[in-house]
Structure 1
Amino acid sequence: MRDNKTSQAASEYDANVHKTLPRYHLFLTETLDLVKTAMPKPEAWFDTGCGTGTLILQAIECFGEMKIVAADPAEEMLSIAKKKLADYQVTYMQAGSEELVCTDNFDVVTAIMSHHYLSEELRKQATKNCYKLLKQGGVYITFETIRPTSRLGMQIGLERWQNAQLLSGKDTAAVAKHINRYGIEIFPITIQEHIDILREAGFSTVEVLWVSCMQAGFYAIK
């Protein structure tokens, strides 16, 4: 029984995420860099799909301690995050973005590699929930696996992703297991569909932040 929605056990996530997503560190550095410009002194940060808490730790190191809420549907992921962030004051919620209920408002809401597990309807609900969590003028940042707009583009993208994982040291079986989840356990959408969902949720500014191979980052301002 898998203890979270990723392709590896929670206890193995930190050791393997960079092999599965070879540019994963850029998701976090690009997120922090964007916040430095769009919201340089955040006082409240909500991280949904927080996983093992790596982004939160880096955010605290970058901006100092602030009001932080970390949410994830996986109990084991939250357990690891609590240990990693034991020296800091963090509120935890065991919930996915699509089911968030929180009356507080935040300067920053992040959802890094967490919504591509959702159906179209639930993805829209998750995005609307993130919008509701923000203060006026607050910034939302999300990174996701994306779907190319053509059959050939998808074939090339998946092959590049497969090769990158093999070069990172993952074995053939583990790579195949992950790639085979595409369209079955993870449900990517195109860059334009991401933009449309963000605009539909009510964001006044929607921009593409970063794109490489089969992943993309977006930011939106309430």
Structure 2
Amino acid sequence: MAEIENIIFDFGGVIIDIDPLLTIKALEKLGFHDIERLKTEEFYQKVIYKFEKGIDTPEVFRNKLRDYLQMNLSDQQLDDAWNALLYDIPEERIRIIEEVKKNYPVYLLSNSNEIHYDLYVRDLQLRFGYREFDELFSKAYFSFDLHLAKPHVEIYEFVIHHHRMDPEKTLFIDDRMDNIEGARRAGLKTFHLQPPQTIRHLFKNGKLKPGLAIQ
């Protein structure tokens, strides 16, 4: 295997911990009880997908969510419930990225949306002193900004070509198998991060540990 020269990190589930059940519980507290509808592909396609791709604005997303829930909730109630799934960014993982960046160009590639982004960029600013993710990473990419989303191969190819990467020498780390498979179709090397693993288990002194299950 060729030596890894670049590393691309996912965000949710890799850098920051998330739990979508917390959003479901928050909506349940607001009075929505048809919980199984929030776990369907229909909900993702009708409400979330265009928001993650930056096609729908936060205002349009909130209105779609209200219509789907059939509840007249305020913007703040919706935002608080939508953000409930996000935990704080663990300091240890920020420090690991800072160390890794000394040895490799590091990139962030995340399916995300404006409401979530506003929350965790504020966390990054207040707790770690970075104004934006481009200051922590060599470059950070978010689906809502690119109008592209994982696992479609185009989003990986965009990053590869923009930075003239050799995909055979570029490692993509994600917690979702569908995103891993999309990255492989683009020719990237991959590591499927699964609990209880965290990125701490992948690096030592800022370098990839030997013997990792890279494919």
Which of the five TM-score ranges fits, normalised by the shorter chain?
0.3 to 0.5
Under a length normalisation based on structure 1, what TM-score does the superposition of the two structures give?
0.35
Q: Which structure features the higher share of helix residues?
A: 2
